[in-house]
Structures are given as structure tokens and as C-alpha cells.
């Protein structure tokens, strides 16, 4: 079996008193990519900054006020969470299962969604030419001992390109397979020796695995269980599949490019966040407490948005963002990483959050901690990166 042929990582490595690396099948990692550059400054809100309130006359979320609805939810003395995440993400903060990393991002300053998404997914650094056949999650899968990777996306993302064939599945559109077993065998026979042979085989395999898992959910639904919709439904399916079958996942969520009328405590962005929050909470619920303990979810986006609102009650493309790391074993309830006061003098190019924590430095440190990667393995995943352990797990 192909997956078992993959290179074996260091056997058992003890990290801060607990064994993560062996057997690695217990450790799960899900990367959630918010495509479109979510407006981080209005999600993890710098409420101690007067400059924030000056810069966003129509968008700013009011400072925390215990009894008042639609005010930010205090995280610490400087930061607060968007109120639309009250019932979903805030409880994770209270249970100390989530950290936020402000001023996080890349050294790519094109301010292009597509270029910077590629930069992150490839994880190769922005100097020199890019190898579009080598994404960082693909390289990660190649250094782990028992990876069962999957992309919960209709198309295989760049980050999983290269190396072994990695399955993908459009998780929101799973149906009963129509191509039967005999046909599937004949189809595979036509691809024998073809460059797509592995993809064809993997496609049928994951189709059957996923359908089996999802059909149980459908049985439950037909017995009168409340069936969730939209992103929450997808996220719950991901939770179930990661509990049962897969330990390295990627999913993306679009719709964050808020140039116009993005709203403040309520409105467009608030609705999108609420949906995302329901998804994350649904995932946590579905994966269950045991698996959640060994699961880490990282939420990233290509860049932040302009710190000042633009002329259309929206925000344009910026630089620094805020990343989230959550999981049952995360030392959460903290805002981590290097920080500066949120004021005009500290803006990047007098317009955006600066990047003080590079995504590769952060993720590299996290992966090292999570899987006990050695220097050579880390070099393979994120070349020429001085990974930094922010002691998140």
C-alpha cells in the first residue's frame, strides 16, 4: 500500500512530557484556509487601541461591555473577539483550547490574493523560482510515518501537489456512486502504467470510504436528527472523516474579500464569521473529545486588510493577518507571538498590520512540536526557515 511506503519519521519523540510522534496516526492536523484575505483586525480586535477606533469610523466593533449585545468579547486587556463568534469560538477560548497569533503572515508584498495564497501553499519562500509541483502539505505528508492526507476540496489544492498522490473530495457534494465495482475495475485497468493510475485508484478508494462514512450520517438524518446545512454540514463531515480515517486535512473557505459594505458588529462579515464559527464548533463536536485531544486546527489567510477602512465601508488588500491555532491539546486562552502597539507609527507602509511572525516560522515550530520533526525533515517541509517554537502545544 502506497501510504505505508512513505518515509518513516523519527519513531517516538517525547515533547513536553507527552508522546506525539508515535504512533502518529493519533495526531491530526487540519489546515483551514480563509481565501480572500479575511479582515483580521475586525475579528481579533485591538480594543485597547484608540487608533483602531479612529481608523474605522463605520466598521469598528465596540469595546467589550458586559451586558451590551454586539460588543466585542474580551480576550485580554488588548484584544477582543468579534461578537458573532460568541457561541462557537469564544467557548474554546474559555476552555483554553485556542490561541490567536496576531501580526502573522508572509514576506510577500504583492497584495495579490492568488500570488500570496500560492506563496503560502507552496511554502517555498519567495526568492527564486517556484516549483508548482511541490506544496508544503505534500512535503509534510512525505516526511510523516503514517500520514493519511486528504483535501476536502473539489480540486486538489496546490499545497498537496507533489510526492504521493493525495486524495481530494468535494465534501459538500457526496452522493451514491453510480460507477459500479466492475466498471471501476475495468477503468483502473485502462490506466495501468499511465501517469494518472494512482489518481484513478485513489479516486475510487476515497469515493467509497467517504460515501460509507457519509451514508451513516444520512441514515441518522432520516431518523429525524437535525441536519445541519452549508459549511457546518461540510465541517461535521470533515470531523467524522478525520476521526475515522484521515489525519492530515486541508479545507478552504472563500468569501472574505470585503472591499465594500463589510459591516461591523453585524453585517456581511459578521454573518460569514458566524457561519465559520458554526463550522468549527461542528467539527469539534463531531470529531469527539478523544480525537479532539490529539487534533490541531490552524486557521490562516493570505494577508490582512488595510487597517483604515476605505471609502466604501470596506477594506482593501493589506499585509499582516491573525492566525488561529486550536485543539484539545493546545495551551490556549492566549494571544501569542511578537506584538507591537496598534498605532499609526507601527503600521506597515502606513497602511497595514506588519508581519512579525512569518507563517513558515510559526507552522514549522508547530509541526516540530506536533510530530517531533528533526531538522532535516523540517528543512524539507519549509526550506531555509528558522522555525520558532511558540509553545502553542
Which residues are at the interface with another protein (CB under 8 A)?
35-36, 109-115, 132-133, 151, 153-156, 158, 161, 165-170, 173, 175, 177-179, 183-184, 186-187, 189-194, 196, 199-200, 202-207, 254-255, 257, 259-260, 310-312, 314, 316-317, 349
| Helices assigned H by DSSP within the chain | 2-5, 50-55, 90-94, 113-122, 136-143, 181-190, 197-222, 230-244, 268-293, 359-371, 375-381
Nearer to another protein, 48 or 310 (CB): 310
C-alpha grid cell, residue 116: 500570496
Nearer to another protein, 206 or 356 (CB): 206
Q: How far is the CB of 122 from another protein (least distance, A)?
A: 12
Residues contacting residue 165 through CB under 8 Å, at least 6 positions apart: 2, 198, 199, 202
Nearer to another protein, 1 or 173 (CB): 173
Nearer to another protein, 96 or 212 (CB): 212
What are the phi and psi torsion angles at 182 (to 5°)?
Answer: -65, -45
Candidates 7, 104, 50; CA nearest to 365 is 104
Degrees to nearest 5, angle at CA 72 with 67 and 78: 115
Q: How far is the CB of 165 from another protein (least distance, A)?
A: 6
Report how far apart, in Å, the C-alpha atoms of 249 and of each of 41, 156, 168 are.
Answer: 27, 12, 10
Q: How far is the CB of 311 from another protein (least distance, A)?
A: 2
Nearer to another protein, 71 or 110 (CB): 110
Q: What is the rounded distance in angstroms from the CA atom of residue 299 to the CA atom of residue 32? A: 5
Q: How far is the CB of 123 from another protein (least distance, A)?
A: 17
Nearer to another protein, 70 or 245 (CB): 245
Q: What are the beta bridge partners of residue 29?
A: 248, 296
Candidates 340, 330, 276, 283; CA nearest to 99 is 330
Nearer to another protein, 13 or 126 (CB): 126
C-alpha grid cell, residue 39: 479582515
29 exposure class (CB count in 10 Å sphere: 0-12, 13-18, 19+): buried
Q: How far is the CB of 58 from another protein (least distance, A)?
A: 12
Q: How far is the CB of 191 from another protein (least distance, A)?
A: 6
Q: How far is the CB of 316 from another protein (least distance, A)?
A: 5
Amino acid at each position: 500500500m502506497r501510504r505505508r511506503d512513505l518515509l518513516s519519521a523519527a519513531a517516538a519523540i517525547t515533547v513536553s512530557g507527552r508522546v506525539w510522534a508515535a504512533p502518529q496516526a493519533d495526531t491530526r492536523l487540519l489546515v483551514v484556509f480563509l481565501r480572500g484575505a479575511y479582515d483580521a483586525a475586525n475579528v481579533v480586535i485591538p480594543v485597547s487601541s484608540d487608533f483602531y477606533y479612529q481608523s474605522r469610523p463605520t466598521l469598528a466593533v465596540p469595546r467589550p461591555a458586559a451586558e451590551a449585545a454586539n460588543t466585542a468579547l474580551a480576550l485580554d486587556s488588548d484584544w477582543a473577539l468579534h461578537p458573532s463568534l460568541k457561541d462557537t469560538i469564544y467557548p474554546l477560548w474559555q476552555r483554553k483550547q485556542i490561541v490567536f497569533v496576531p501580526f502573522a503572515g508572509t514576506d510577500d508584498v504583492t497584495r495579490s490574493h492568488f500570488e500570496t495564497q500560492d506563496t503560502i501553499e507552496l511554502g517555498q519562500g519567495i526568492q527564486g523560482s517556484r516549483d508548482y509541483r511541490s506544496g508544503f502539505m505534500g512535503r509534510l505528508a512525505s516526511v510523516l510515518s503514517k500520514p493519511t492526507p486528504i483535501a476536502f476540496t473539489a480540486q486538489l489544492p496546490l499545497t498537496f501537489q507533489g510526492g504521493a498522490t493525495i486524495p481530494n473530495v468535494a465534501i459538500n457534494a457526496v452522493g451514491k456512486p453510480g460507477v459500479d465495482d466492475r466498471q471501476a475495475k475495468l477503468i483502473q485497468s485502462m490506466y495501468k502504467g499511465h501517469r494518472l493510475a494512482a489518481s484513478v485508484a485513489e479516486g475510487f478508494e476515497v469515493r467509497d470510504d467517504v460515501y460509507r462514512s457519509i451514508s451513516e450520517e444520512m441514515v441518522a438524518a432520516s431518523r429525524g436528527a437535525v441536519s445541519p446545512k452549508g459549511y457546518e454540514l461540510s465541517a461535521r463531515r470533515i470531523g467524522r472523516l478525520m476521526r475515522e480515517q484521515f489525519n492530515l486535512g486541508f479545507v478552504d473557505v472563500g468569501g472574505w474579500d470585503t472591499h465594500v459594505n463589510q459591516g461591523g458588529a453585524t453585517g456581511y462579515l459578521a454573518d460569514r464569521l458566524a457561519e465559520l464559527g458554526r463550522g468549527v464548533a461542528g467539527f469539534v463536536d463531531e470529531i469527539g473529545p478523544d480525537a479532539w485531544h490529539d487534533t490541531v486546527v490552524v486557521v490562516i489567510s493570505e494577508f490582512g486588510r488595510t487597517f483604515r477602512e476605505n471609502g466604501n465601508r470596506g477594506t482593501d488588500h493589506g499585509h499582516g493577518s491573525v492566525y488561529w491555532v486550536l485543539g484539545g491539546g493546545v495551551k490556549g486562552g492566549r494571544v501569542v507571538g511578537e506584538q507591537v502597539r496598534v498605532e499609526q507609527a507601527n503600521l506597515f507602509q502606513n497602511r497595514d498590520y506588519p508581519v512579525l511572525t512569518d507563517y513558515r516560522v510559526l507552522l514549522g515550530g508547530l509541526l516540530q512540536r506536533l510530530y517531533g520533526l528533526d531538522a532535516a525533515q523540517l528543512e524539507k517541509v519549509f526550506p531555509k526557515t528558522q522555525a520558532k517554537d511558540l509553545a502553542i502545544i
